[in-house]
Structure 1
Amino acid sequence: MRHLLSVISLLWLAAPAQASPHCEGGQVWEDRNGNGHYDAGETPLTGIKLSDGVEVFITDADGRYRFAPVEGRTLFVIKPAGYDVPRRADGIPDFWTHARTTPGPALKYGGIPAGSPGCRDFGLIPRATLAQSPDLEALIFADTQTKSLTDVGYYRRDIVEPLIGRHTAQLGLTLGDVVDDDLSLYPALNTQTARLQVPWLHIPGNHDLDFDAGSDGDSLLTFRHHFGPDTFAWEEERMTFIGMDDVIYRPGQKPAYVGGFREDQFAFLQAYLPTVRKDRLLVLGVHIPLFDTGGGSFRAADRQRLFELLRDFPHVLLLSGHTHTQRHWYHDAATGWHGPQPLHEYNVGTACGAFWSGVKDADGIPDATMADGTPNGYARLKVATGGDYALSWHPARDAQDPAIGLHAPKVLRQGAYPAWGVYANVYLGDDRTRVEYRVDGGEWKPMQKVSQPDPRLLAENMRDDLADALRGYDRSPEAKPSQHLWRGALPTSLPAGEYRIDVRASGRWHDEVSASTRYRLQSATE
């Protein structure tokens, strides 16, 4: 049966019946003045890669590529290192065109309108110099997930505006669930993201689907109309990025989707990966994590096929979203990875936190803390030569930019049994993170990693439970065990008085970060 399905898939990929007769290719040139026109003195670019999501085409000495467009596919140029692409009127990078000559299915949010033959010319703008920093820096958003214009306003004030003029990134990524089912919000959201003035790439999530589509193949038509191909590649000097739709829509079934890949995506990878340099970092961005979050959330056979294709690459990083928590996962033989080193997957915390929920602050913006106690925000990826990279997490609008959240009791009885502790939520921590604490400037002691909910969020849950009226539009999420929480017992044998608690953490993602809080010992009689 598996062999029969493979044969059927290959026949579908090779079928010429849908080929469009309206164009046969185009040209790629160096647009030195960036005006979008092939002017005198500008030159064609040879060796540039393009793809229709299945095959890869390479420009010849005249900068020309040739292929037969297939109705419904999207052609895109694989931006090479050292070049930029122009931006569309909405600020999205202009590196694709759709093959849609006849109307597609009637969809609530429009899908892809007819009128595009499927090929075009592409002008690439030469980049004068690399950024001053030797590293490539990218901003990473997961699950902006706006369900209304009110949420778009939160995104603007909480995430975008604090970054305007203050970041040094050369690239931006959104890892799916751009909106929360209302695809009419794409233009409003894009208007805000474009204010960051960097090329911004989008991957679809399960809340970006056309749910009135009759098949998985038609479920991202509206997304593709606004953002381009759902699977694509983008090359920088220090990094190759591949964005992939990994949401398989199953109309009429429960659950309505599962994590996995399509046959055309594997065909693209098989054609493209042999052209990718192995001396720089290969980053794969998806929405649904490749590790199982419960109930067979990702098809194991698809993960295995992907890992076999990636096996010979020495520097690989996986980025995912979807869970509205944050953690690091290191794939090994148990999940089908057989490379010489574990394969790192960073499951990125979300821009919307817990769906823009929680009590609003003085500025009218919800608290949005995630279920594992991580504050909403964004990540930064810095990539150096040779495949090295560094990650950081930045809570939204917090001028202190804390890497650790602390919780400790305010007061304990002096002389009581030391059963109460200080908790440190090291937002980007993993099993390799070393976390220590000290009291009153004393000796540093190790903290123990624990798998339990963040007590700060538990306290917020209790405040919501005890309130006589709603404290916000949606209450904070129910706290769940955190993957990056540490505990240290607080001494009670000291004299009565107030004491400072210092916590420090170091590891793969931190040279050393620290935080402090206080508690008081009070003497008591019966």
Structure 2
Amino acid sequence: MSQKRRTFLKSLGLTGMGLTLAPNLLQAKPAIPARGKDLSTVTLSGKVYAQGKGIAGVSVTDGINVVTTDSAGRYELLSNATADFVYLSIPRGYEFENEKSITRFYKRIVPQRGRFKADFELKRLAQDDTRHNFVVWADPQIISKEDAEQLKRESAPDLKQLMSSYPQGTLFHGIGCGDLVWDKFELFDDYQEALAIAGIPFFQVIGNHDMNLDARTDEGSTEKFKELFGPTYYSFNRGEVHYVVLDDVFFIGTAKKYIGYLTERQLAWLEQDLATVKPGSTVVVSLHIPAYTRQHERNKEKEPSLGGVVSNRKELYRLLQPYKAHLMSGHTHFNEKVFEGDNIIEHVHGTVCGAWWTGPICYDGTPGGYGVYEVKGSELQWYYKSTGLPKEHQLRVYPVGAVAGKPEHVAVNVWNWDPNWKVEWLEDGRRMGEMTRETALDPLSIELHEGAAKPSRHKWVEPQPTDHLFFARPSAGDSVFVVQVKDRFGNVYRDELKLAKLESAVH
């Protein structure tokens, strides 16, 4: 017996059993041939136009390659049968076509004899879009009709009311930043109904709870999302800002198992997409799993979990280096700002559902709510909007001793804090300086979430350390303790406590 044959039989566990295999058996083909992937070419073509006139320079893509329309608004793109959609990067100055607030900027490819024709008709905005606003809804994450009704009864009307506080005609769009539902695909209808109540066009990001959990690979996990909302990665433009949506949830073929990862196909597409954007421009990238957070540091862990950050984020950072970039993410159910170099700010958002619809806050004490962004030219300003509370609600003050280990200190949670904010305190009208930032558990989260019996709906919810808590030690006598917070844009927020010999109550 040859050495190669002996090695082969050993690998099958058949040596020493007196067995030999016939040569034809060793060379046999599988009884059922594997299904080959259809890589046949498909030529995509069409026209992008408004009021019968072609629009030049519009990016059109199949999710693999990007082309731009010619002077007559025409495009042609050689694609293949693995592409699901042909879609465009909506140019500035045009409306976001939508059906009951779900944006439609794509057509599913149905080739005939190797060709597919797709025209896109756009409608010009009645106003200049250099100034516009957008909101980020992270993790509505509804798992029941009860959750869905709360989303429609509280969150959607809150957004509608907020928009009505702006001058009539103010442009708004929304970004649903993933986990639109909680594995219950039948509730996507309720999510869409909530968007229709809010009444603005929404772009969707796929989250780990929006995937087909019985798929055998990542590619198959997005089928339902694509059926309802179209591509999982794409771009669009409004005013001077270029918006990108990415799919960074990589499903590994076992239910509820995933990592934060951007595929080569997406990165190659993104590189082409950004090549159409002038360096120095503002780019807003929305993805579900944060590119990065420091949660593992707060939890005293050596490194972040594979499902908690994007493993190959450095390549994303490299592609964004020529731009002023803002990353919009969710997933974590806490609020955090992360800075990467001088040009990238990541906004990790507190969630619409708070701590999974168990009460008014996320587990870091951030109220359930959403991010609001006001765009003027290439500049963004922002604030966090707590559902059901005025937009001025930007901090929560706790009395002396509310935080374990700080028995003589007042504590303040400033959830949208970043290093350009200033958190000061005054005692009886006298400025006492800045409060000290430390990592600790939010007292209200401890009250609502800590312990095996609570919250009653999802008992696994627990408080998590946050680094946007601030502390100061007041005098021992009667006094009025005032917290004054100035954000990076110069907005000032205040709250106060009346202290009586270290016994206090929130004013």
| Structure-2-length-normalised TM-score | 0.82
Paired position in structure 2 for 1:63: 73
* Maintained 8 Å contact 2:207/2:288: yes
**Shift in CA distance, 504/299, structure 1 to aligned 2, threshold 3 Å:** closer
| Counterpart Cα distance in 2 of 1:508 and 1:441 | 23
Deviations 1:93-129 (A, max 9, x none): 2211122579xxxxxxxxxxxxx98652111101121
For the residue of structure 2 that corresponds to 1:483, the secondary structure is strand
Q: Structure 1 regions of 5+ residues with no counterpart?
A: 1-14, 32-41, 103-115, 333-340, 358-366, 412-417
Query: How far off is 1:169 after superposition?
Result: 4.7
Q: Distance in 2 between matches of 1:129 and 1:211?
A: 44
1: CA distance, partners of 2:422 / 2:58: 46
Task: Give matches, 1:355-370, under 5 Å.
Answer: 355-357=356-358, 367-370=359-362
Q: Distance in 1 between the 2:493 and 2:284 partners?
A: 26
The reply on whether 1:26 has 2:65 as its aligned counterpart is: no
Change (3 A) 1:432 1:476: farther
Alignment counterpart, residue 388 of structure 2, candidates 362, 377, 397 = 397
CA contact (8 A) 2:448 2:455 kept: no
* Equivalence map 1:105-124=2 (5 Å): 119-124=117-122
Q: Which residue of 2 aligns with 1:95?
A: 105
Equivalent position SS for 1:171: strand
Deviation at 1:433, TM superposition (A): 2.4
> Structure 2 regions of 5+ residues with no counterpart?
1-35, 164-169, 296-303
Match of 1:384 in 2: 376
Q: Is the 8 A contact 1:503 1:515 kept in 2?
A: yes
**Pairwise CA distance, 1:171:** 1.2
Identity in percent: 24
8 Å contact kept, 2:262–2:310: no
| Correspondent of 1:125 among 123, 139, 150 | 123
Note closer, same or farther for the CA distance 1:93–1:300 as it changes in structure 2 (3 Å cut): closer
Partner of 1:290: 291
Give the residue type in structure 1 aligned to 2:57. Answer: G
Structure 1's 322 and 301: CA in aligned 2 closer, same or farther, altered over 3 A?
A: closer
1:320 Cα deviation from its structure 2 partner: 0.9
SS at match of 2:465: coil
Q: Per the alignment, do residues 461 and 67 of structure 1 end up closer, same or farther by CA in structure 2, a change over 3 Å counting? A: closer
Match of 1:514 in 2: 494
Structure number with larger C-alpha Rg:
2
Question: Secondary structure of the equivalent of 2:236?
Answer: strand
Q: CA deviation at 1:209?
A: 0.5
**Contact 1:374–1:427 (CA<8 Å) still a contact in 2?**
yes
Map of 1:221 onto structure 2: 223
Are 1:204 and 2:206 matched, yes or no? yes
Query: For residues 179-215 of structure 1, what are the alpha-carbon distances to aligned partners after superposition, in whole Å with 9 as ceiling and x for unaligned?
Result: 1011221122112112222221011011111111111
How is 1:402-413 mapped onto 2 (pairs within 5 angstroms)?
A: 402-409=393-400
Distance 2:345 2:360 in 1: 27
- Return closer, same or farther for 1:119/1:405 CA change in 2, 3 Å cut-off: farther
After superposition, the Cα gap between the structure-2 partners of 1:510 and 1:144, relative to the gap in structure 1 and judged at 3 Å, is farther
Deviations 1:308-333 (A, max 9, x none): 222222x111111110000011124x
C-alpha distance in structure 2 between counterparts of 1:256 and 1:400, whole Å: 37
In the alignment, the residues of structure 1 paired with residue 103 and residue 184 of structure 2 have an alpha-carbon distance, to the nearest angstrom, of: 22
State the distance in 1 between where 2:251 and 2:185 align. 16
Residue pair 1:139, 1:169 contacting (<8 A) in 2 also = no
Go from structure 1 to structure 2 and tell me whether the alpha carbon gap of 1:296 and 1:169 turns closer, same or farther (over 3 Å shift).
Answer: same
Q: Distance in 2 between matches of 1:507 and 1:91?
A: 32
1:243-322, aligned counterparts within 5 Å?
Answer: 243-252=245-254, 256-291=257-292, 293=295, 294-297=304-307, 302-313=312-323, 315-322=324-331
Q: Does 1:502 align with 2:482?
A: yes
Per-residue deviation, residues 138-170 of structure 1 (Å, max 9, x unmatched): 011101111122111111122111222541452
- Shift of the alpha carbon at 1:438? 1.8
Conserved in 1, the CA contact under 8 Å of 2:45 and 2:74?
A: yes
How far apart, CA to CA, are the structure 2 residues paired with 1:324 and 1:80?
A: 33
1:2-50 deviation per Cα after TM superposition (whole angstroms, max 9, x unaligned): xxxxxxxxxxxxx9943465x632221104xxxxxxxxxx312222211
Between the aligned partners of 1:408 and 1:156, the Cα distance in structure 2 is 35
Q: Which amino acid aligns with 1:124?
A: L
Give the secondary-structure state (helix, strand or coil) at the position aligned to 2:265. helix
The question of whether the paired residues in 1 share the 8 Å contact of 2:101 and 2:192 is answered with: yes
CA contact (8 A) 2:280 2:322 kept: no
> Are the aligned partners of 1:24 and 1:68 in contact in 2 as well (CA < 8 Å)?
yes
Letter in 2 for 1:149: K
Equivalents in 2 of 1:390, 1:199: separation in Å?
A: 21
Distance in 1 between the 2:396 and 2:196 partners? Answer: 31
Maintained 8 Å contact 2:455/2:461: no
Alignment of 1:57-206 (within 5 A): 57-71=67-81, 72-88=83-99, 90-99=100-109, 119-130=117-128, 135-167=131-163, 168-206=170-208
Please say if residues 363 and 449 of structure 2, whose CA atoms lie closer than 8 Å, have aligned partners that are also in contact: no
The letter of the residue matching 2:132 is L
Q: Take 2:133 and 2:438, find their aligned partners in 1: how far apart are those partners?
A: 32
1:423 counterpart = 2:434: no
User: What stretches of structure 1 move > 4 A for 4+ residues in a row?
Assistant: 116-119, 298-301
User: How far did 1:241 drift?
Assistant: 0.4
* 461, 468, 472: which one aligns with 1:488: 472
Could you tell me how far 1:70 is from its partner in structure 2? 3.0
Return the letter of the residue paired with 1:324: H
Task: Report the TM-score when normalising by structure 1.
Answer: 0.79
- Matches for 1:326-345 after TM superposition, within 5 Å: 326-332=335-341, 341=342, 343-345=344-346
